[in-house]
Amino acid sequence: MGLTWKKRVFMALLGVATASGLTVLILILVEATNVLLPADTKFGIVLDAGSSHTSLFVYQWPANKEKDTGVVSQAMTCQIEGPGISSYTSDPTQAGESLRGCLEEALALVPKAQHQETPTFLGATAGMRLLSQKNSSQARDILAAVSQVLSESPVDFWGAKILDGQDEGAFGWITINYVLGMLLKYSSGEWILPEEEMLVGALDLGGASTQISFVPRSPILDQSTQATFLLYGANYSIYTHSYLCFGRDQVLYRLLVQLAQSSPVPRVRHPCYHRGYYATLPLAPLSESPCVHTMNSLNLTQNITVEGMGNPGDCMAALRGLFNFSSCQGREDCAFNGVYQPPVHGQFYAFSNFYYTFHFLNLTSRQPLSIVNATIWKFCLKSWNVVEASYPGQERWLRDYCASGLYILMLLLEGYKFSEETWPSIQFQKQAAGTDIGWTLGYMLNLTGMIPAEAPAEWRAQSYGIWTAGVVFVVLTLVAILGAAAVQLFWPQD
């Protein structure tokens, strides 16, 4: 007896389902290729505890890295409320408490599952370096207070320490060259190392110290001024030096005390303050800095009356008294105070107080040195009444911009030995490529070399055409199976 129609249809549908299913299996096994899924994102938190304020930065990078170094980008920045942590000598616990607000913002940005693997570090700079010199136990108490708050947070706390000046300068150099694409550059679908000749120098002016870092033409003769790095598979050797007590705030303190010591009367005639400026200032807070050296004849408990003279020539002469230029006389490889420095070479980025001072004076557009010099002198010659009326709401630092501008000129020209010919090589910038310039990003880049890389996950995938065909055959297989089941269940017996 032959097969009934029910059996014939049933067998045909089973055949279609089997053939279609085998086709799907072949497409999966034969045409599939391995693809790499995007690597997970890693996060890091760095706190910059400067002399006048503290900033928190969150950075991120793909976990697989490039040549053992992360491709880092800035994800967030937060300004801590209040002064620098070195100001909390009378109540160290408040130094730690001041960090909580920004720390909570950072943890809200980082996925909760990654909190415990997020490296977090606090680096204190020149303000704490000075406090450590003056009172090491107070400095230890403040570091302990901030460490307690950070260690209680659900992060991978790497410690809180005082950075030495060389590290601050060197990490700042890494930051500026990285954000400008001088250490790593994406081109034609791959990461490449740019030519070393493109590297730029870094000029940093903080509240208590100033740093210069660059790659010189000739070998570095003083090894104590050399810093070396391995970044993205390439070795770098740079000159870097930090001058403690030559930051903006400490220079202004030293200048005022120097003028007070040379004044025979309680009234100090200040050549860097504008004509018509009068103020009564206490000397005691100034004497607390290890940078300030006073003679016994100066009564530090008294107040002094300061009268502005508005004389930029005398101001330059007074500022020159803060340097020791004679120790470098006749030496080309010397800056000031007897410190070795090769001749400056290449392009430079000047940031922090270099930028803030010149931004106020509207001198960040790479004007010629003659214009810069004339602009600062013209500002210094203005009367205090005119200056106050011209810049409402900026009274806090207004009296100091004349001295700061002239100090920057002296530091760069007579100190670091820039000239009218090399002056155009300096750019005054706060940011580069949308990223804040400072030591923190450089630190994080260096730190990523210590964090193991994670290989990206693999997955099997098909081309669009193969994927479409596979979907069609899967649907055909399901329809055939359902049809065979329907025939078996609902087709009446022949």
Check the annotation: does 208 bind a ligand: yes
CA–CA dist 297, 25 (Å, integer): 96
The residue type found at 472 is: V
Tell me how far CA of residue 367 lies from CA of 5, 372, 413, 420, 423, in angstroms: 96, 6, 15, 11, 9
Q: In angstroms, how far apart are the furthest CA atoms of the chain? A: 134
Q: How far apart are CA 122 and CA 440, in angstroms?
A: 9
Q: How many CB atoms lie within 10 A of CB 16?
A: 17
Nearest to 45 by CA among 155, 161, 124, 176: 155
Does 211 show up as a binding residue in the annotation?
yes
Distance from C-alpha of 163 to C-alpha of 123, rounded to nearest angstrom: 6
- SS3 of residue 143 by DSSP: helix
206 annotated binding-site participant: no
Residue in this structure with the two tokens 């980025």, named with its chain if needed: 349
Element (H, E) at 5: helix 5-31
Bridge-based pairing of strands 431-432 and 226-231 is: unpaired
Segment holding 412, helix H or strand E: none
Select which of 81, 105, 152, 168 is catalytic: 168
To the query of whether residue 168 is one of the catalytic residues in this protein, the response is yes
Catalytically active residues, by annotation:
168
Which residues are documented as binding site for ATP?
A: 207-211
Which residues are documented as binding site?
A: 207-211
